[in-house]
Structure 1
Amino acid sequence: MARKKKHKKHEEHLDESWLVPYADILTLLLALFIVLFASSSVDANKFKQMSTVFEQIFDGGTGVMDHQSPVQTDTPSDTKEAKTTNNNQTAKGALGEKEQKELTDIQRKVNQYIQTKQLTNKLGTSLTDEGLLVTIRDNVLFESGSAEVPTENREVVKEISNLLIMDPPRTIVISGHTDNIPIETQQYSSNWDLSVMRAVNFMKILLENKKLNPEWFSAKGFGEFKPVASNKTDQGRSKNRRVEILIMPRSAANQ
């Protein structure tokens, strides 16, 4: 009798149905990592792109790996240009056309005084997004290490006070600044003390002008912590020793 051929047992077929949910989980995890990576720098356009990707994922569309990453890397030049543009827009928006014109008129009047008195090396003006800034070097007003305005310099302060008469009045902030050379005298234990008292004493002389309302004035000191030049040179330190008058926009008084 012919032997019956033995049939080899087929290997059991592995159940691979678990791969589908496993792949979905990996896709969602990858999408989560992309969101976390992009969250620090995402803007409206990038967020819209990511939203589109997630909608397609949850609606059963193509996987996230089929899309370009919504995160775009800015080159250094792009970043610098963007920051410059933002700063310009902020400054322009902060003042507004009418406010900018009014402050420019005040600046023109102050500059005319500076030129007439031949003080271009001692006083200066600049229009910032905070308002009109008038800078006065400390050697115009004060002796070294002192916060007292000498008698011969008080006339300059009084003339400056006439430039601050405005109708309606504006908020005016007087700030004192020093270089980074430490000071320790019987009167002033630090540059903080010196800068504050210079601002206060300067403001007091301004307010001897009865046409100025003290309600609109304030004084503060920054010590050496707001330099406008390097403290490594005599010239730089000279620029940092200063008193500043900030003539603020009218809108600031309502904030």
Structure 2
Amino acid sequence: MNKSMEIKSSESIKSEGTDKSKVMLVFDYDGTIQETMKIYAPAIFDIAKGLRTIYGVQIENPSYERMESWLGLRSDEMWADFAPALSADARAAAAARVGAYMRTLVRDGADPWYAGARETLDKLKEQDYRMMILSNSDHGYAEFNRKRFDTDKWFEKYIDCGSWDWKSKADVLSSIISDEPELTYVMIGDRFNDQEAAVNNDILFIACDYGYAKSGELDEADARANSFRELPDIIARLPDC
């Protein structure tokens, strides 16, 4: 973001007057908290095979780079790129199969959360930060993750854009901010729509470079994290945090 501010050095951050309970950390989910490719790639390979055998669609397995580019997009955007010839009903059925496959992998023991994510969230919670998730997903996916990974332990809200008629993250975040405008908001994410949400709402943005963004996608970030574990120190260096 083009802000006339400097990230404070460790020595200069004393923040004696900062009330961390007045800071809302807004996390993206896929690629930020969860290393989604661990369960997404197998599900996509499964549906690609299904499209060939069930629907007779001549489609190749996508590359990992292409699949990574879909994470963070709305479902309709992903399917328009992957299988544009499919009917709306076929896309809905295929999307449901992908989601079911991912849930099965998790139920069978897969843990796609980034290493250290839980401990890092514990630390941020202990420091009295308020936290929420804002995901460009449907409600069913959000609810599964909320319950399976007990996200209520750390996050007071898990908001999915699907429940907001697929409004953009920027628009959803604008509505959220309007409910509690007195808070300091920080957007934390790994894709262009996370950056857009921050820029459009004039709040700080931490780019998660360990996620799925392409080079140059997050050039307007105020700070950058190379791992989830780095977030507490990075947040502490932000103004008013």
Q: TM-score, normalised by structure 1?
A: 0.27
Higher RCO (CA-CA < 8 Å; seq separation 6+): 2
Larger radius of gyration: 1
Q: TM-score, normalised by structure 2?
A: 0.28
